[in-house]
Amino acid sequence: SVRQYIIPTYVHIVVSDDGTGMGDVAKDVVEKQVKALNEAYATNAATAGIQWVFQVRSVVKTSGPDMCDQQNEASMKAKLRKGSRDALNLYITDLSACGLLGYSSWPWDLKKKGMVMDGVVIHYDTLPGGQYRPYNLGRTGIHEIGHWLGLYHTFQNGCNGNGDSVQDTPFCASPSEGCPVHRDTCPQPGEDPVRNFMDYSDDSCMRAFTSGQHGRVEQMWKQYRLMV
C-alpha cells in the first residue's frame, strides 16, 4: 500500500501595487502550475511507497509590495498566510526587482522563525507559459517546494561529505546550466543528475526526483510538519 500525504495548498497572487499591476496571472495558468506540481511529485514517489498530493484550498489575489524586500515579505506573509504547519502557502509575485526566480523557507525554519514566515515565493513569469525563458515551464515552483519539503540542491557540499544528504543522487561539484550531456564533475560514481528538479538546469531539462529524495521528504515531513 502507498502512503498518501495530502498537502493543503493556499495560493496567493500578490499583484504589484507599484502602478504596473505586474503579476496578475490568470486562473488557468495557476491551474497549469498546480498540475505541474502534482505530476512532478508523483515521479518516483510510487517506488518509495509514497504519494504527495497538493490540494488547492484557495487562490486569492491581493495587491502588494515587492516581496524581494524582507520587511515587505514579512508583512505580506503576516497578512496572508493560512493553515497549519502542514499547509503550503505559495506566493506568486513579481520578483524582478531582485532578479530571483523564487525562494523558500526550510522545514527547520519553523522552529526558529515561526509559522508566519513559512512558505514558497515564486516569480509570476516562471509559471507555465510565462516570459522567463528558459525557466517558464513551472519548474521553479517544483524546485522551491523541494526546498520547502527539506531537499537541498544536488550540488550541496560539492563532491564532499554527505553531498545533498540523499543516497541515490550522484555527487556534483557545481550547478548545471542549460541541459548538459554526460556532465560529470565528481570522482564518485554516477554522472551529474542534471535532470533532477534540485539542480539549476533549464526547465525543459528538469524531470525527476529520486526515491531517495522522496524518502528524505517523508522523513522531514514526519519530523517537522506531521499533524497528529
The answer to whether residue 139 forms part of the interface with ligand ARG (CB under 6 A) is: yes
Catalytic residue among 31, 39, 73, 144: 144
Query: What whole-number distance in Å separates Cα of residue 182 and Cα of residue 193?
Result: 9
Region from 27-35, 59-67, 74-82, 134-142 binding ligand ARG, contact rule CB under 6 A: 134-142
Q: Which of 66, 118, 203, 218 binds ligand ARG (CB under 6 A)?
A: 203
Region from 5-13, 67-75, 78-86, 137-145 binding ligand ARG, contact rule CB under 6 A: 137-145
The DSSP call for residue 226 is -
Region from 21-29, 72-80, 81-89, 132-140 binding ligand ARG, contact rule CB under 6 A: 132-140
Give the 3-state DSSP-derived string for 63-78, with helices as H, strands as E and coil as C: EECCCCCHHHHHHHHH
Q: Which of 135, 155, 171, 224 binds ligand ARG (CB under 6 A)?
A: 135
Residue 134 beta carbon to Ca ion: minimum distance, rounded to whole angstroms: 25
- Asked if 158 contacts 173 with a C-beta cutoff of 8 angstroms, the reply is yes
**Residue 8 in grid coordinates:** 493543503
Report the partner that residue 169 touches, choosing among ligand ARG, Ca ion, none (CB closer than 5 to 8 A by kind): Ca ion
The answer to whether residue 143 forms part of the interface with ligand ARG (CB under 6 A) is: yes
Residue 49 or 178 having the CB closest to ligand ARG: 178
The answer to whether residue 140 forms part of the interface with ligand ARG (CB under 6 A) is: yes
Q: Which of 66, 94, 144, 218 binds ligand ARG (CB under 6 A)?
A: 144
Residue 50 or 143 having the CB closest to ligand ARG: 143
- Asked if 122 contacts 144 with a C-beta cutoff of 8 angstroms, the reply is yes
Tell which residue, 219, 76, 43, 226, has the closest CA to residue 142. Answer: 43
Residue 62 or 165 having the CB closest to ligand ARG: 165
Report the partner that residue 163 touches, choosing among Ca ion, ligand ARG, none (CB closer than 5 to 8 A by kind): Ca ion
Q: How many CB atoms lie within 10 A of CB 5?
A: 19
Run of H or E including 52: strand 50-64
- Asked if 82 contacts 10 with a C-beta cutoff of 8 angstroms, the reply is yes
For 102-143, give the DSSP string: EEE--TTHHHHH-GGG-SEEEEGGGSTT-SSTTS-SSHHHHH
Active site residue 39: no
- Interface residues toward ligand ARG, by CB under 6 A: 101-102, 135, 139-140, 143-144, 200-203, 206
Q: Which residues are marked as active site?
A: 144
